[in-house]
Amino acid sequence: MDNLEKDITDSLAENTNIISAILGDSADINKREFSFGQLKGVCFFAAGLANTDQVSTIVRSFAVFGEHQDASGNRTIQAISRSLILNTSVETKTKINDGIKGILSGDTLVLLDGYKEYLLVETKGWDKRGVEEPSTENVVRGPRDGFTEDIRTNTSHIRRRIKNPDLRFDEMTIGDKTNTSINIAYLNGTVKKGLVEEIKSRLSRIKIDGVLESGYIEELIQDAPLSPFSTIQSTERPDKVSAALLEGRAAILVDNTPFALIMPSYFWEQLQAPDDYYNNFWMGTFFRMLRYFAFLTSVLLPSAYVMLISFHQEMIPTRLAFTIASGREVVPFPVLFEALIMELAFELMREAGLRMPKPVGQAVSIVGSLIIGQSAVQAGLISPFMVIIIAITGISSFAIPSYSTSFSIRLLRFPMLIASGTMGLLGFTCAFFMVMIHVLSIRSFGEPFFSPIAPFSASEHKDILVRVPWWAMVKRPRTASGELRRLGAGQKPKPPSTSEERHEGE
Amino acid sequence: MKVKITNGMFVALIMTIIYAKAIGVTQGSLAREIGHDMWIATILGTLQGIVMMILTAAILQKLPDQNFIGFAEALLGKWAGKIVAFVIFLFFLFSFGPIMVTFIYHFKDYFLPEAPIYLFIVVALIVGIFGGFHGLEVMARMALVGAFAVVCLNILLLTGSLSEFDIHNLRPVMEKGFIQTSWASRHYDTDWALATVMAGMILPMVKQSEKWVKAGWSGMILTCIAITMWPILEAAVLSAPVTAEYIVSCMHLARGAHIGIFLHRYELIMIALFSTSSLIQIMMSLYCSAHALSKIFGVKDYRPMLIPAGLALGAFGYWLVLDHLRAISFTEKEWPLISLPIAFLLPIILWTFGKLFRRKLSRS
């Protein structure tokens, strides 16, 4: 591997041997030797990664060149690359390492006899998944395109949305063995001061053999590594990333995954959906409120129910208490045990439904929810009210747009349940309080996670609990730098007020 | 990076650290002493509290980087600082008694009568140490949430009790005379004493020292507004004699609150909101006493001191809460005798020394 750091020599045979030795006899690495007149050369490329048509074109170019030139030595390699190679990107290099990386990224390395430099021609052309609607972040109104596994396709999605020269993609490579391409996307002049430097500094600290998904990066750079909450937002949606960039944040795109990372991220954003911004602001606000309610229901409902039934029955309205009691009459288990079993069963069904092939998964869900649930109630193992509580909790957790947040909630539910089921109101309150302390203590790239509620920032409240109309969202969030005004003056639409104005309009 | 909180957070901390005990336990004591004029005593107490808060802020503005302990050390030397730290530790040690009375009697007497007292102490200490460990910034953020909880709690109570409001129960005003009402305000003074001594410890960590005085008095006034509603409602809805019968009189008022026929009991929601203030009291007592201990023993970081401070405070709280009679007797008799000299005299002494050693102060 010492050869990797070396420059190539002017001997074609020697160079070919070195590169062949480095790449070994791997079945997917192709070597195409050619000899046209006095011109001799070798092309190295990876089958499946490189577009073979383009490789053929390169070889054909050399064929024409070789037939019409007596000697190639009187031309510099730069001249050859300029006049001969038709591909969009071609570089001249000397280091063997660069060439190897190029081959493994889908480029074609061209060695020519008698030259101390080689050509690295961009011939990337592997099979890609088409652009599809993101499966984890569906919207009713809004763009349907999602990121794919190809990083260039993903950057193009963002570039298509922000046609601005200030949009930058800074490239890094992480993973000693995988050499995974990572792009840091940001809007120069708008991004929060120091954020890009901080991201680069955190990324450059990563020493890992391979990065197969952005989750690796997320775990290695986030502020609260032990927290169940994710302080970096992951998304498959280019519009979400573009919106974040316009607000002065940055994104990390990782090759081979459709999930981009947005930072800094706030707690409240995990409960916001892209539709909030595309629909009427009344609808946006209503559904946002509904999601906050769903979040609270999802975290607190089972523990509140267990707490009330186990310790504070007097707090339940009398008729409701009778209804619950009649349902629980035949149930042999304590309510905490019943709730834990039901929660675990629900998680099991969800996990099974997710892992099974789609048609079978649906069947598992139906069998689980309808048949087992109904049978358990009829057998007197579970009370009907508990089934309702767990079902409402499950539905509420489905209403949370961020998949990682719904995971956090599922994890938090169990300690909350145990605390409430063993210590009643004391356990419920103190467990919730400890979760709150934790949430309030964590940061996302220096920004308090629970901001702008605590610490309170009045100027940010146009897009937190409510979503005000676009014409009222005059300024960017305070994290952005540069010009904070995002909207021109007097953008609130209004009909012509006088009959003359109306007439002029016509 | 040195932790700094905003003045708004400081105001929220003042509100939440006073609120929990002042709305119930204190009002019960006031009702036993001056009947339905407890709301006047609360206001009179607030006026005294405003003066002491302004004095505290004004003293520390002279040396904005120092708390009471640092101020004494800068003026009178290392040992003076240690003495002040010891006094502050004692203050928070004994304050933990009434704080635990408030916390435990709310939960135990009204919701979990069969749970052992040590469970409440252990849980309170775990939460308190957890919060204290995360530091002032997190506690201040929690106080913002707590201030919101206070507003919600007041609205809920007002909604549920206004229908039974009888203004005749508030008359005649100042029945026991001004002197006795003023004297009774000492019970509320013990509540704001927590806020002023806390301010003496945390003000250097509050941004914009020029706004400390304003934040201090506005915090006291806002707290008074949030609290005074309770004695008025307790007197007008429950009547003073009934309020006087209970250690935790606010719970009796909360129990009686109802919205329509279906929501006839919702004190559970109210107690959940109330607990934010109560738990902030616990966290802040542990935080300040750990700070004082770290100064006494010359330890740079206060965090290792949270455990010994927690053990000391927890042991005292447990001993006090075990016996209702002892608890209420300490809260009404001994606690004012301990807290008020510290709350009044400590700032006055420091202010006097500040005047006497003006040159040294300006050099510092």
Interface A-B, measured as beta-carbon pairs within 8 A, has a size of: 87
**DSSP string of B134-160?**
H-HHHHHHHHHHHHHHHHHHHHHHHHH
Mean local confidence (pLDDT), A268-272: 89
Distance (Å, whole) CA B284 – CA B132: 7
Are B275 and A450 within 8 A, CB to CB? no
- Residue A142 within a domain: no
Q: Which long-range contacts (CB under 8 A, 24 or more apart) does A360-367 make?
A: none
Find the Cα–Cα–Cα–Cα dihedral A219, A225, A226, A232, rounded to 10°: -70
User: Is A485 inside any structural domain?
Assistant: no
> Who has greater pLDDT, A243 or A70?
A243
Whether A443 and A300 map to the same domain: the answer is: yes
CA distance B124 to chain A (A): 8
Contact B325, B318 (CB under 8 A): no
Which site among B15, B268, B279, B284 would you substitute to test the A interface, given the most A Cβ atoms closer than 10 Å to its Cβ? B268
Mean of pLDDT over chain A: 88
Task: Flag whether A489 is in a domain.
Answer: no
pLDDT digits (tens, 9 = 90+) for A336-379: 999 999 999 888 888 888 888 877 777 777 777 778 888 888 88
Which residues in chain A are contacts of B264 at CB distance < 8 A?
A: 317
Domain containing residue A31: 2-121
Residue A501: the pLDDT is 62
Tell me whether residues A429 and B271 touch, CB distance under 8 A: yes
Question: DSSP per residue over A212-244, as a string?
Answer: -SHHHHHHHH-S-TT-SS-SSEEES-HHHHHHH
A325 plus A374 within the same structural domain:
yes
Mean pLDDT of A19-43: 87
Q: Is residue A278 part of a domain?
A: no
Determine the average pLDDT of the residues in A17-39. Answer: 87
Q: Residue B20 and residue B280: Cα distance in Å, rounded?
A: 9
CA distance A91 to chain B (A): 47
d(CA A47, CA A23): 13
Cα distance between residue A202 and residue A217, in whole Å:
10
CA distances from A126 to A48, A150, A158, A172 (A): 6, 10, 21, 21
CA distance B144 to chain A (A): 6
Paired tokens of B240: 């003073």
ipTM of the complex: 0.91
Is B192 in contact with B46 (CB distance < 8 Å)?
yes
Q: Chunk chain B into consecutive blocks of 10 residues (it has 364) and report each block's average pLDDT, rounded to whole numbers.
A: 85 96 92 93 95 95 92 92 96 96 93 94 96 94 94 92 89 89 94 96 93 95 95 92 90 85 80 93 96 94 95 96 94 95 95 87 76
CA dihedral A79, A84, A85, A88 (to 10 degrees): 80
User: Does the CB of A332 have a partner CB in chain B at under 8 Å?
Assistant: no
Q: Given the DSSP bridges, would you call strands A250-254 and A233-235 parallel, antiparallel or unpaired?
A: unpaired
Cis peptide before A493 (omega within 30 of 0): no
Say if residue A315 is in the same domain as residue A225. no
Residue B52 structure tokens? 């002491």
Q: What confidence score (pLDDT) does residue A2 get?
A: 66
- Provide CB contacts within 8 A for B199, sequence distance 6+: B10, B14, B53, B56, B57, B60, B216
Maximum alpha-carbon separation in chain A: 103
**Which residues from A are below 8 Å from B140, CB to CB?**
455
Q: How many residues does chain B have?
A: 364
Residue A1's pLDDT is what?
57
Nearest to A426 among B123, B141, B144 (CB): B123
Shortest distance, CA A184 to any CA of chain B (angstroms): 27
| SS (HEC) of A355-385 | HCCHHHHHHHHHHHHHHHHHHHHHCCCCCHH
Cα A268 from Cα A288, distance rounded (Å) = 10
- Residue A65 sits in the same domain as residue A207: no
What pairing do the DSSP bridges indicate for beta strands A39-46 and A90-93?
unpaired
Range A206-211, long-range pairs (CB < 8 A, 24+ positions):
A206/A174, A207/A176, A208/A174, A208/A175, A208/A176, A209/A175, A209/A176, A209/A177, A209/A178, A210/A175, A210/A176, A210/A177, A210/A178, A210/A180, A211/A174, A211/A175, A211/A178, A211/A180, A211/A182, A211/A254
A402's enclosing H/E stretch is: none
At which of A402, A423, A448 does a domain end? A448
Mark whether A426 and A306 lie in a shared domain.
yes
Residue A242 domain-assigned?
yes
Which one-letter amino acid corresponds to residue A138?
N
**Cα four-point dihedral sign A185, A189, A193, A198:** positive
**By a Cβ cutoff of 8 Å, what residues of chain B touch chain A?**
6, 8-9, 107, 111-112, 115, 119-120, 123-124, 126-127, 130-131, 134, 138, 140-142, 144-145, 262-268, 271-272, 275-276, 279
Distance between CA B35 and CA B27 in Å, rounded? 10
A505 pLDDT higher than 60 = no
Residue A412 lies in a domain: yes
Give the separation between CA A32 and CA B11, rounded to whole angstroms: 76
Mean pLDDT of A25-44: 87
Are A199 and A105 found together in one domain?
A: no
CB of A434 within 8 Å of a chain B CB? The answer is: yes
Question: Which residue in the set A423, A425, A453 is minimally distant from B268, CB to CB?
Answer: A425
Identify the CA nearest to B339 among candidates B101, B103, B100, B92: B92
**Chain segment A313-327, per-residue pLDDT in tens:** 988 888 889 999 998
Query: Closest residue of A to B272, CA-based?
Result: A429
What is the C-alpha separation between A31 and A49, in angstroms, rounded?
14
Q: What is the percent of chain A with per-residue pLDDT over 70, rounded to a whole number?
A: 95
Question: Hey, which residues does A111 pair with through a beta bridge?
Answer: A42
DSSP letter string over A250-300?
EEEEETT-S-EEEES--GGGGG--THHHHS-HHHHHHHHHHHHHHHHHHHH
Pick from A265, A282, A306: which residue ends a domain? A265
Per CB-CB distance under 8 Å, the chain A contacts of B145 are 436, 440, 453-454
Q: Which of A308, A317, A433 sits opposite B279 (nearest CB)?
A: A433
CB contact under 8 A, A424 and B115: yes
Is B9 in Cβ contact with A317 (below 8 Å)?
no
Interface test with B, best of A309, A316, A318, A440 (most B CBs within 10 A): A440
Residue A434 forms part of a structural domain: yes
Indicate the pLDDT class of residue A66, thresholds 50, 70 and 90. low
Does residue A438 share a domain with residue A300?
yes
Which among B8, B268, B276 is the nearest to A312, CB-wise? B268
Report, in angstroms and rounded to the nearest whole number, the Rg of chain B calculated over CA atoms.
Answer: 20
Residues A312 and A440 in one domain: yes
Domains of chain B (ranges; CATH) run: 7-351 (1.20.1740.10)
DSSP A47: B
* The two three-digit tokens of residue B75, written as one number: 């003026």
pLDDT of the residue at A72 = 47
Whole-angstrom distance, CA of residue B181 vs CA of residue B128: 35
3-state secondary structure of A456: coil
Is A474 inside a domain boundary? no
Q: Which residues of A touch B123 (CB under 8 A)?
A: 423, 426-427, 430
Tokens of A455: 């610490």
Site of tokens 């499950």 = A394
For chain A, how many structural domains are there in total? 3
Handedness of CA B33, B35, B39, B43 (dihedral sign): negative
CB contact under 8 A, A314 and B265: yes
Find chain B residues with C-beta within 8 A of A433's C-beta: 127, 131, 275-276, 279
Mutate to test the interface with B, among A266, A305, A418, A437 (most CBs of B within 10 A): A437
Residues A46 and A173 in one domain: no
Q: Do B119 and A441 touch (CB under 8 A)?
A: no
Contact A187, A166 (CB under 8 A): yes
A204 and A259 in a common domain:
yes
Please tell me whether residues A399 and A444 are part of one structural domain: yes
Same structural domain for residues A383 and A313?
yes
The three-state DSSP-derived secondary structure of A55-111 is HHHHHHHHHHHHHHCCCCCCCCHHHHHHHCCCCCCEEEECEHHHHHHHHHCCCEEEE
- Asked whether A328 and A335 are in contact (CB, 8 A), the reply is yes
- CA atoms B56, B57, B63, B69: torsion sign: positive
**End position of a domain, from candidates A448, A470, A498:** A448
